[in-house]
Structure formats: structure tokens, C-alpha cells
Structure 1
Amino acid sequence: MPPEEDDASAILPAVESLLEDEDGAAALQAAEKAVASCRRAPGGPKDSLAAALRALIRAHCLQGDRKQALSLTREELGLFQEAGNRRGEATMLLALAEVTLQKMGSCLLDEGLAAAAKGAALFGDLGDKRLSAACHLAAANARIKRASKAMDRRQESQLVLDASKDALQLFQEVKDLRGEAKSLHAAAVGYIDLQEFRQAIQLTKKAVRIFQELGDRKNEAFELRALARWHLRKEEPDQALVAAQMALEIFRELPVGCGGWEAVALGTVVQAHLACRDPDHATRAAKEGLARFQEAGNREAQLAALDMLRGAQLLKGNIEAARTAAEDALAIARDLQDGRCEAQLLLSLSQILRKSKEESSKAVEIAKEAQEILRDLELDQERASALQELSDLHLTRGEFREALRAAEEAKTLHESLGEKRGVATSYLAAGAVHHAGGRFPEAILAFEEALAIWRIGGDRHGEAQALDCLARALADAQDVRKALQVAAKCRSLLVELGDKSALLDLMLLIANLEAEAAREARLLDVRKPSAKATQELCLEAAKALQAAREAVALARRTGDAKTLVISQHTEIEVLIGSGLPEDAMRVINDALAVCRERRFEKEEGRLLADVAQVHLCRENVAKSTEAAEKALAMARKVQDAEGEEFALDILDHIESLQAAPRSGSSPAASPSQTVVVQAVAGKAPAQEQAAAANAPREYLGPSKGSLTQRIQGLMKNMFDAEDLENDTMLMDIGIDSLSMLDFHSRMGQEFPGVAWSTTMLFDFPTVGELTEMMDDTLRSAFENGAAIR
């Protein structure tokens, strides 16, 4: 071997070491020296030249020169093919597969996979098992990237397992421990996408042990962080925290000092603390990391730590602290001239500002600024996601037209990119706008479009999300039976996927739907008594209680006190509706104790309203009034509009009972958000039922006072009107044709089944006149059989 080539062979191990240490500049310089040495060797391309070129290509990628790396690879591949150098050709095919794994766009992955397959075959013919294994590993990593973009990850993830197992076998045959560990990592990722968490964890632990045996601390830390992520996916935050902290300690011990990988590991530690419901430790960890990065002068790492701090403070409820962290991070991103990061931070800041009604308009402007930055950078996929966030912000402000326009623009952009998942999520965004505006047929159609895309693509997570949205839209459209059918399909899917958080939310919906079905069965049993109606009533009530208690059990397993209280509130409503007020009171007392200990004031207000219902069931109007007034005061204190309306409904009902009590009847039929309260469990005798069916019904709808408050509240939200009296002319506060339609839509959502005139704001131009008209309309609809509450 000529001396020049011998020199290159001596340099290459040093280049490999520099590449492992991610020292791109030094690796590039050494690789260029090795390539120059090989080119000076007589006799044309040799094996060392191909190896040196592959090292040079990897160094270019590490430095971010991906286009140059791709161009060089294709050029040298052609030269080796022309020279008939099969090893050189195979090496360049391997290099091509590795280059396409960089941030080059998914369109190049097919080229990389074809190169990996051909390279593996060529190395196999040459008897080089180690480099053949490297080709299989590159194919596995390419499949991992494709799986992340695929609608149905299962098929692609199975191919990941196939390629990684081929690589693993060959690396084991040549006793290449490093390659073996990297193959185990790839296989673990494949198992994660297949929801086989235990397998992934076991393989990652094997990889950790191999790197420990090799004394490779950096890769050991990589695998420990991966282990932490798998434990988080498996909802084992305590074990995730241990692995993440071990990874962080190793990264901090490495000679490279404070850097990007330390920030990445710190992010996993913070995430694990948050998953453990410990925002205080998450905040402390983020602040400690920030101080280290500031001392080291690492601006990129400072930015990352500030973003972690933002998330931790947000979970703690420290909105101002979260805003400060986001603004500090944004300033660094601008100093670094990192447009992509700036846009993402602007979107994060907009999510913080939206929590304040006074600054919601600023949140929209900031989101628009982020969208324009992404447009200028031609990051269309990220811009489409930003448009969906903008749609949600408009929706929060009740700006339905603008929200729908942003959702439609996002859908068009996703369609142009061929991103079916994005198209589906855009349909969900549009459906949410229609749903909030009371346009249930349009919402249902949009959710069904999203569902069809995800079903065809095989994306089960997306399918579950669409089914959940569809069930809620059907519920609000008063199609209880169909909503229950859709919810049952969603439940089966979520159980299969192991998504406990989404399952808990769905079980609360199912409990409410079953309670509504029980209410309908109860009304049927009173109007048309029969053994079949009685049996259906008992069955629906039992289903409602079972669903509510299943939700409570799921909430207890999460270990989150607020989630538990919210679930108990649903159980309480079902118990009251089933005629079991004493059982309901026992649950109320348990939940109230937690609320007062944890200072959950909003939830405490809702529970006080439940107390008022229980006292009505006990026929104690005085105590019911006292509890309802406390609930109203608490709701107003924490600005809980829904809780305020709930309390007002109960007070209205008490007022109607006191104004017109019926002889021999009990005042134990308080309204509820989901059920009609019964004072006595069980059925009345058939004679009483028949009498009840023929007796005139007592109007249980809102009083005029309640209607006035609702109209004034809605007008204030729509037009930011501060002083709104009964004789205020509505035209003077900015009513126009679009807002008139918006008001009409909201009334349709508030009182389904009641026909409202689309010109009612013109025909009845003051709050007082509008209240009189609406009261007459509601009472007339009630007399004609409508369920007014």
C-alpha cells in the first residue's frame, strides 16, 4: 500500500472519533486531509478513498452542509460505478442512504432506502458483514422517519423491526458491539410505534449496558434519555425521572461542557417532573439549567431552558412568570436570527396571552406575525399548523368567520403539500368552529370528513380523536343515541391504544350521555307507563352510574386531585338524577374536602351547586337557596360563566317553586346540566304516573331575570359593552348583520328545538324588549312539548 494511502488509513480512526464527538469542524478538516492523501495515491480509487469520502460526507452533514454532502455523494457514486469499483460503489450507496436521513425532506427517503438495499446486497457479495449491517441500520432509520410521517405507523414500524433485526444479527456475527447497540435502539423505536412499550424498554436497557461496557458515556446518556422517553410513553413518570436525571448527570460530566445535549436531557427531566405532577421541581430544574447555560454563555441552551421554564410556570398557574420566560426566550431567538424558533415562540406566547380576555386580541396579532415569518421562510407545513392555532385563537374570541377562514387556508396548504394528516386536522379545526357556533350539521360533516381520512390512512389515534369530536357534536345536537354509539367506538379504540387521559374525558361524556338517556326514559315512563319503559329507565340509569364511577376510578389512578374532583362532580350529578341524594352527598363531602385543601375554587363552586340540588331533593328550600347563593358568589369570584349560569338556574327554579307550589307535590325537581333531578328513587305507582302524564306541566325554564342576565352577558362578550341597561338600543353598541346571525346561532345552541327569528335583534331593539319576546317564545315552546331548561 502506498505511503500516502497508508497515511489516510491512519487518519480515518481519528475522523471517526471526531464524528462521534460531533466536532464537525475538526472532523471536516481531518476528512479533507484523508481524501487528499488518497487522491495523491497512484493507481486510481482505492478502498481507503471510499472510506475517506464517506467520512467527509458525514462531516459536511454535521456542519449543516447537507446539499453539498448530497451533491458530492452522487458525483463520487457515479465515478466509482464508471471505474467498476464495487466496494467504492457500495460505500457511496451507504453514504447516500445516510445523507438522506438528514433534514433533506421526506421526498429523498425513497432514494435512500433504495441505496441502502443495493448497498447491503453489494457488501453481502463482497463478504463485508459489518458494512452490510450498516446499510440495514440506515434503512431502519429511514423507515423510522417515514413512520413518523405515515398515517398508519404499524406497517412502516414493522419494516423498522425487520431492518434493525437484520442489522443486529450481522453486527453480532462480527462482534461489533457499538453497531449492535445502535440496532437495538432502532428496534426499540419500532416497538414504541407499535405500542409495545415493555419490549422497547428492555431493548434500550440492553443498549445502555453495551455502551457502559464500551465506556462510551455519551451514547450511554443518549440511551438513558431514550429510556426516560419510553417510560413517559408508558405513563411511568417516576422511572422516567430516574433515567432522565442519570442522562443529565452524564452529559454534564462530559468534556464538551454545557451544550445542546445537556439542554435536551434537561428538557426530559423537566417533562418527567411535570408528568409526576410536580411543577415546583420542574421549575427549579429549569432555573438551575438556565443559570448554568448563562454562566457558560450558551445562548441556544439558554433559549431551550427558558422555554422549559415557560411550560413549568404555566402548569403552576403563574401566567406572568410564564409570559416573562417566553418573552426572554423570544428575545434570544431574535438575537440569534433564528426565524423558525422565533415563530414557534411567538405561537407559545400567544397561547399564554389568550388566557387573558384583555390581551386576547394581542394573542391573535402575535400568531399572525408567526404565520408571516413562516411564510417568508417558506416553511409551509409549519405555517399550516400555525394557521390552525390562529383559527383556535379566533374561535376563543368568538370570531367564527375569521376562525373558519384560517382553518380553510390551513386545509388548502396541507392539500398542496399532500399532507393528509394535516388535511384531517384542518377538518377538525373547521368542525370545532361550526360546533362552537351551533351549526351542528356542518360540524358533524367536518368531523366525518376527518374520520374518513384517518380511517383510510389507518391512523387509529386520529380516528379516536375524530370519533370523540363527533360524539360531542352529536350530543350537543341532542342525538343522544347516536352520540352514545360513536362514543362506544371511540372508547374501544382508546382502550386499545392505552390513552388513559383521553379515555377519562370520554368516560365523563359517556356518563353524561347515559344520564341524558335515563332522563328521556324517565319522561317516557311518566307519559306512557309500561314495564318496558321502566326496564329501560333502570338500565339507562345503571349505565350512567357505571360510566361515572369508571371515570372516577380512572381519575384516581392518575393521581391528579383536580381531575378526580371533576370526575366526582359527574358522579354526583348522576347520583342526584338517579334519586340517590344521600349517596351524592357523601361524594360531595369527599370532593369538597379536597377542593378546600387544594384551593380549587372553581370546582368548589360547582360542588356547592350540587349541595343545593341535594337539599332540594330533601325538600329543604332554605338550605338549597343558601348553597346556591354561595355557589353563585364563588362562580363570580373566579369568573366561571358556566358555573354562574348553573347556580342561577337553580335559584330560578327555587323561585318558581316558591311562587307557584303545587298541592301535594314535592319541590324536588331541580334542573341539572345533564339530568333532571328526582327527589325519590324508584317509580311511582301506575295511577300517579297516569295522573302526572295528564297534568299540566310546570314551566322550568329560565325566569325573565335570568334571561336578562344571559342576554346582557352575551352582548358584553360580543361587543365589549361595559354599561348595558334594559333600555339600551342594541344598534348603538355595534350590532350588524353578521353579529345578528352570530347571536341567532348562539340562541339556537342555548335553547335547541326553539325557533328564533333571524331578525329578532332588529325587531326587538332593546334588552328589555328582547327579554319579553324570548320569555314568551320559551313558554310557548314549553307548552308545545319542548324540553326547556
Structure 2
Amino acid sequence: RVTAAALAAKAESTEAITVLREAIEIARSVEDRKAEASVLLRIAGLELDPLRRLDDCRATAAEAQALFREVEHWRGEADVVELQLRLEIKEGSRQAENLADEWRALFFDAGDRKGEAHCVKEAARMFCEAGFAQEAESRAQEAQALYQEMEDQPGEASALLALAEVLATFGDVQRGVQAAEEALELSKLLEDPQGQAAAWSALAKVQMMDGGDPEEACTAAEKAVSLVKRALKGWATRRDEVKALQLLSEAGVAKLLKIADQNGDPDQEPDAAEKALLQTIFDKAMKAVELAVDHAMNMDDRRLQASTLHTLARGHLVCRSQVGATDAAREGLRLAREIHDRSLEASFLMVNAEVHIADNYLGKADEEARAALAIFRDLRDSEGEEYAKSVLDDMYGTTRGGQGTSAPDASKYEDSSKVQAASESSVVVNQGPTKEYIIESLQVLSKNVVGDDVEIDSPLMEAGMDSLSSVEFRNQVRGLVPGVNLPASIVFDYPSLRSMTDFIHMKASEQ
């Protein structure tokens, strides 16, 4: 079991399961039912996350639960129910509410009030993740009340942080900030630096959400980093420092985006003072994440390494440093695939897609975004799916990827032209679309319309396009080069992709 735990810590989940199956055989040979159930529970946990083998997880968890009941081990059974709850949450099942009540009942029946409050609080976080707003808020408030009844102030502070997360996630940032500040005051009263660090981190996350204040997020993140660094020889670990540095970098990027959003004219050159401000914010954000990456690379945890590389890639992408984003995403994608973390894999594919869009390689962007979309759908990750759809929609000016949804905050880089001044490497001079970009885009659009690849010299009307679909195709082509006047008869006047490319490139160059 120790060997398997070490392997799992290094994100070698498949190898860990193999070792744990050996442990099961040993437990069975000595007829230790409790040990066998514990190992099965550990396997089920790995099958759930990160491997996402949901059916295998369900079967393994049921086997563990039967064994715990056989030996009348209520605490083990409670751990199984928690795992089953996480499973149902991932699948968005309403059965999750019954499991959450069953989990709580096990602690209540055992007279463990602190454990009961803890499971109510954690259930609130899980329901928040699943998008069940009312259920999440009511359970977070109930957890707070339970801790208050026990006069457990550290517990009450942790429940307030859960409530802050729930409120902010569902749009009530003001109440989320109030809850996090209450938790901070409690931690200060208790002289609990670890609790204060958690509260500052929560405040930073809440303030980074829509409707929050990125400036306040940066301040809160800096406070968290400072507390963690001072406690590295005490309660804090290097992992805590890495997470705090990532948060500081993300807050800096959010601040850059806010400044960019406040610019009424994205083509207006920022003045010297604003350039200096942008450069300072950019340098601070990138220094934080680069330090996080360095620390993570010295740790035997590939999942943490991949996570920091994702933060680094997003930072470069926001500031239009395509080379930096590409390098970080390439290494991160390799790690994500090594550790079989498909969620991270999809996230890195989306970074690549956005880099290709910025470089005018629409065909490659389409390929990466669709690969990510397929993974998000397979994982039942609705937020990721909407993100991928929105990028595809923005590429074509249509709803071919989805129904006009909004991407998460991290994808707002395309609206942050003013942020380019934060990095010399991010300065982009637009000289119009290249022929390569146009031909790739036309190939993708034509395939979308006729359902098959079209040779660049083949007449479109012979490749399966009719008068109705030619209108749809023409409208999508116009979206490729906004401001360029294309004739309604373009499909007939320039019947092949090659001739159409030459015409569009000529017209765009005249603009």
C-alpha cells in the first residue's frame, strides 16, 4: 500500500493499481477483510480520478462497501459513500443528494458531530462543482451552523470559506467576499496563520470572478504567498507555496485583463505610464508562475508540474507571447498524457488552439479545439465543453461549435490587445491574412458545408455544394475577412478554393 501511495503521488495511477491488486491478494491470503476493503477503496479512488473509469469505479466501490458492512466498519463505509457521492457529482446525477444525506447519517448515527459538519461542508463544495446552486448554498450554511453549535471556530471559518466559494461561483461575488472576510477575521482572532492563508487565497479566487476586483485579488494573493513562505519550516509545504504562487500569477493576469477591458479603443496605443504599469504587472505575474514551475519541477509530482505549466501557458497566451505559450503547452501536454489526465490534456489542447488562431492557422486550431471538445464531452465537463464550443464559434462567426456560449475568463486574451504592451515579444503587426491562412480556412469551411474534403482545384459545385449551401458558405467566408467586400457570386466567379484564395488575398491586401 505504501508503494502504491508513492506511485500515485507521482501520478503513476495505472502502476499504483497494479501494486494495489497485489495487496488485495495478500489481504485475502490472511483473511483480513478490513484491509481488503481499504485497498479496494483506494483502487476505486484512482479509477475515479484521474483515470475517469467511472463504471470500474462504481463496481470496485460497491465491493469495498459490502466488505466494510460485513466487518461492521462504519468509518470505512462512510469513505465509500463519499467516493460514490463524488462519482454521482461527476455524472451530474440527482442521486447525489440522497448519497450526501446517507454520508451525513453515518456520522450522525456514530455521534461524530465534527465529522458530520465536515461531510456537510464538503458536500456543499461538491454540489457547487456540479452546478447545484441552491443545494450547495444551503449545505454550506448548514455546515456553518453545525460548527457554531459546537463552538468550533476553526471549523466555522472553513465553512465560511466553502460558502464564499459557492456564493461567488453562482454570481454573488459581494456576499462571497463578505463570507471570506468573516473567515479571515475568525482566523486572525484565533491567531491561526494557516487559516489566514486559506482565507486570503479564497478572497483572491472570489475577487478574480466576474464582478470581482482583480486589484484586490492581487493583494489577497500576495498576502497568502507571504504567509506560506514564512511557514515553510512549519505547517506549510513546498506544494502550498507552488499553489500560492500560481494564484498570484493568475491574479496578475486577471488584473491585466481588467486594464485591457477598460480601454475603449483596442487599437489605441497606451501611453508611457500605462506601458510601464502593464510591464510591471506582467513581470510580477510571470515571475510568480516561473518560480512555481521551478519548484514543481524539483518535486516528484508530474500532475503539479503540468498544472503549473498550464498557468504559465495561459499567462503567455494572454500577453500574446505565442512562443512561450507553445513551449509550455507542449511540455504540459506531454506530461498530461503520461499521467493519463485527460482534463489537463484537453486544457492544453485548447491553449494550442488559441495559439494557432493567433497565428492564423485556422485548420490546426479547428483540429485541436475539436479534439479538446471530444475529451470534455467524454468527461462530462460542461464548462470545458462550452469553452471549446465558444472558441469554435468565435473562429467561424457561427454556432457550429455550440450555442453562442462564453468561454471562461482565461480565454479572454483575444479581447486584450492593449496587454500586448506588457511584453516586447507580444507585439503583433497585422498585415492581413496570409494565403496559407485563407486556404486552410476555406478548406475547413468547405468541408463543414459539403461534409468531405474538397481538393483546392476542384469546382465547389461539383464537390457537393448546391445553391443553398453556397450561400451559407459565402456568409462564412465573409466572416474570415471582416471589412473586405466579397461579391454575392463569389462561389460562381471563383469556383475553386485556389482561385477563391487568390481573389480574397488580393482584396484583403488592398484594405
TM-score (norm 1): 0.46
Deviations, residues 14-50 of structure 1 (Å, cap 9, x unaligned)? xxxxxxxxxxxxxxxxxxxxxxxxxxxxxxxxxxxxx
2:326 is matched with 585
Give the Cα–Cα distance (whole angstroms) in 2 for the partners of residues 513 and 397 of structure 1: 24
Matching residue within 58, 66, 84 for 1:323: 58
Does residue 613 (structure 1) correspond to residue 345 (structure 2)? The answer is no
Instruction: Kindly indicate whether the alpha-carbon contact (under 8 Å) linking 1:561 and 1:594 is maintained by their aligned counterparts in 2.
Output: yes
2:13 is matched with 279
Give the Cα–Cα distance (whole angstroms) in 2 for the partners of residues 577 and 615 of structure 1: 14
Instruction: Kindly indicate whether the alpha-carbon contact (under 8 Å) linking 1:625 and 1:651 is maintained by their aligned counterparts in 2.
Output: yes
Give the Cα–Cα distance (whole angstroms) in 1 for the partners of residues 364 and 29 of structure 2: 61
Instruction: Kindly indicate whether the alpha-carbon contact (under 8 Å) linking 2:91 and 2:380 is maintained by their aligned counterparts in 1.
Output: no
Deviations, residues 356-377 of structure 1 (Å, cap 9, x unaligned)? 23xx333331221232233233
Give the Cα–Cα distance (whole angstroms) in 2 for the partners of residues 629 and 339 of structure 1: 45
2:34 is matched with 300
- How much does 1:348 deviate? 3.2
Residues 432, 514 of structure 1: alpha-carbon distance in 2 compared, 3 angstrom cutoff: closer
1:537 is matched with 278
Q: SS state of the match for residue 298, structure 2?
A: helix
Residues 484, 406 of structure 1: alpha-carbon distance in 2 compared, 3 angstrom cutoff: same
- For residues 130-279 of structure 1, the aligned pairs below 5 Å read 266=1, 268-279=2-13
Give the Cα–Cα distance (whole angstroms) in 2 for the partners of residues 320 and 407 of structure 1: 30
Q: SS state of the match for residue 307, structure 1?
A: helix
Q: SS state of the match for residue 542, structure 1?
A: helix
2:386 is matched with 645
1:548 is matched with 289
Does residue 433 (structure 1) correspond to residue 174 (structure 2)? The answer is no
Deviations, residues 689-719 of structure 1 (Å, cap 9, x unaligned)? xxxxxxxxxxxxxxxxxxxxxxxxxxxxxxx
Q: SS state of the match for residue 507, structure 1?
A: helix
Q: SS state of the match for residue 411, structure 2?
A: coil
Amino acid at match of 2:253: A
Query: Is the radius of gyration larger for structure 1 or structure 2?
Result: 1
Does residue 518 (structure 1) correspond to residue 256 (structure 2)? The answer is yes
- For residues 115-126 of structure 1, the aligned pairs below 5 Å read none
Give the Cα–Cα distance (whole angstroms) in 2 for the partners of residues 585 and 673 of structure 1: 15
Amino acid at match of 2:283: A
Amino acid at match of 2:8: L
Residues 299, 447 of structure 1: alpha-carbon distance in 2 compared, 3 angstrom cutoff: same
Q: Which has the higher contact order (CA 8 A, sep 6+)?
A: 2
- For residues 483-498 of structure 1, the aligned pairs below 5 Å read 483-498=217-232
Deviates more, 1:543-552 or 1:671-680: 671-680
- How much does 1:305 deviate? 3.4
Residues 678, 549 of structure 1: alpha-carbon distance in 2 compared, 3 angstrom cutoff: farther
Instruction: Kindly indicate whether the alpha-carbon contact (under 8 Å) linking 2:24 and 2:40 is maintained by their aligned counterparts in 1.
Output: yes
Instruction: Kindly indicate whether the alpha-carbon contact (under 8 Å) linking 2:50 and 2:340 is maintained by their aligned counterparts in 1.
Output: no
How many residues align? The count is 403
Give the Cα–Cα distance (whole angstroms) in 2 for the partners of residues 388 and 596 of structure 1: 33
Give the Cα–Cα distance (whole angstroms) in 2 for the partners of residues 595 and 345 of structure 1: 27
Amino acid at match of 1:326: A
Matching residue within 332, 339, 342 for 2:77: 342
Residues 613, 674 of structure 1: alpha-carbon distance in 2 compared, 3 angstrom cutoff: same
Amino acid at match of 1:531: A
- How much does 1:486 deviate? 0.4
Instruction: Kindly indicate whether the alpha-carbon contact (under 8 Å) linking 2:65 and 2:77 is maintained by their aligned counterparts in 1.
Output: yes
Deviations, residues 586-615 of structure 1 (Å, cap 9, x unaligned)? 334444444556665444443343334334
Instruction: Kindly indicate whether the alpha-carbon contact (under 8 Å) linking 1:435 and 1:473 is maintained by their aligned counterparts in 2.
Output: yes
Instruction: Name stretches of at least 5 consecutive residues in structure 2 with no aligned partner.
Output: 399-408, 424-511
1:731 is matched with none
Instruction: Kindly indicate whether the alpha-carbon contact (under 8 Å) linking 1:579 and 1:682 is maintained by their aligned counterparts in 2.
Output: no
Root mean square deviation of aligned Cα = 3.3
Give the Cα–Cα distance (whole angstroms) in 2 for the partners of residues 301 and 608 of structure 1: 41
Q: SS state of the match for residue 111, structure 2?
A: coil
- How much does 1:550 deviate? 2.3
Amino acid at match of 2:304: T
Deviations, residues 619-641 of structure 1 (Å, cap 9, x unaligned)? 45555555545554554455443
Amino acid at match of 1:343: A
1:382 is matched with 115
- For residues 299-698 of structure 1, the aligned pairs below 5 Å read 299-315=33-49, 317=51, 318-357=53-92, 360-476=93-209, 477-498=211-232, 499-522=237-260, 524=263, 529-595=270-336, 600-621=341-362, 624-625=365-366, 627-655=368-396, 673-675=411-413, 676=415, 678=417, 682=421
Give the Cα–Cα distance (whole angstroms) in 1 for the partners of residues 164 and 321 of structure 2: 38
Give the Cα–Cα distance (whole angstroms) in 1 for the partners of residues 379 and 98 of structure 2: 27
Instruction: Name stretches of at least 5 consecutive residues in structure 1 with no aligned partner.
Output: 1-265, 658-670, 685-789
- How much does 1:332 deviate? 2.7
- How much does 1:452 deviate? 1.5
Give the Cα–Cα distance (whole angstroms) in 2 for the partners of residues 598 and 414 of structure 1: 38
- How much does 1:313 deviate? 4.1
Give the Cα–Cα distance (whole angstroms) in 1 for the partners of residues 373 and 393 of structure 2: 12
Instruction: Kindly indicate whether the alpha-carbon contact (under 8 Å) linking 1:617 and 1:680 is maintained by their aligned counterparts in 2.
Output: no
Residues 270, 461 of structure 1: alpha-carbon distance in 2 compared, 3 angstrom cutoff: farther
- How much does 1:494 deviate? 2.0
Instruction: Kindly indicate whether the alpha-carbon contact (under 8 Å) linking 1:434 and 1:443 is maintained by their aligned counterparts in 2.
Output: yes
Amino acid at match of 1:381: K
Give the Cα–Cα distance (whole angstroms) in 2 for the partners of residues 633 and 307 of structure 1: 29
- How much does 1:453 deviate? 1.5
Give the Cα–Cα distance (whole angstroms) in 1 for the partners of residues 70 and 133 of structure 2: 36
- How much does 1:535 deviate? 1.1
- For residues 49-60 of structure 1, the aligned pairs below 5 Å read none
Identity %: 23
Give the Cα–Cα distance (whole angstroms) in 2 for the partners of residues 680 and 375 of structure 1: 54
Residues 654, 341 of structure 1: alpha-carbon distance in 2 compared, 3 angstrom cutoff: closer
2:503 is matched with none
Give the Cα–Cα distance (whole angstroms) in 2 for the partners of residues 579 and 643 of structure 1: 22
Give the Cα–Cα distance (whole angstroms) in 1 for the partners of residues 212 and 25 of structure 2: 55
Residues 280, 647 of structure 1: alpha-carbon distance in 2 compared, 3 angstrom cutoff: closer
Residues 497, 274 of structure 1: alpha-carbon distance in 2 compared, 3 angstrom cutoff: farther
Amino acid at match of 2:135: E
- How much does 1:322 deviate? 3.6
Residues 273, 456 of structure 1: alpha-carbon distance in 2 compared, 3 angstrom cutoff: same
Deviations, residues 501-539 of structure 1 (Å, cap 9, x unaligned)? 333333333223222323444565966843211211221
Amino acid at match of 2:113: D
Give the Cα–Cα distance (whole angstroms) in 1 for the partners of residues 38 and 350 of structure 2: 44
Q: SS state of the match for residue 354, structure 1?
A: helix
Amino acid at match of 2:289: A
- For residues 77-116 of structure 1, the aligned pairs below 5 Å read none
Amino acid at match of 2:214: V
Deviations, residues 248-284 of structure 1 (Å, cap 9, x unaligned)? xxxxxxxxxxxxxxxxxx5x45433433434345434
Q: SS state of the match for residue 94, structure 2?
A: helix
Instruction: Kindly indicate whether the alpha-carbon contact (under 8 Å) linking 1:573 and 1:674 is maintained by their aligned counterparts in 2.
Output: no
Give the Cα–Cα distance (whole angstroms) in 2 for the partners of residues 313 and 463 of structure 1: 34
Instruction: Kindly indicate whether the alpha-carbon contact (under 8 Å) linking 1:516 and 1:674 is maintained by their aligned counterparts in 2.
Output: no
Give the Cα–Cα distance (whole angstroms) in 2 for the partners of residues 382 and 353 of structure 1: 21
Residues 348, 420 of structure 1: alpha-carbon distance in 2 compared, 3 angstrom cutoff: same
Residues 618, 507 of structure 1: alpha-carbon distance in 2 compared, 3 angstrom cutoff: same
Give the Cα–Cα distance (whole angstroms) in 2 for the partners of residues 631 and 329 of structure 1: 34
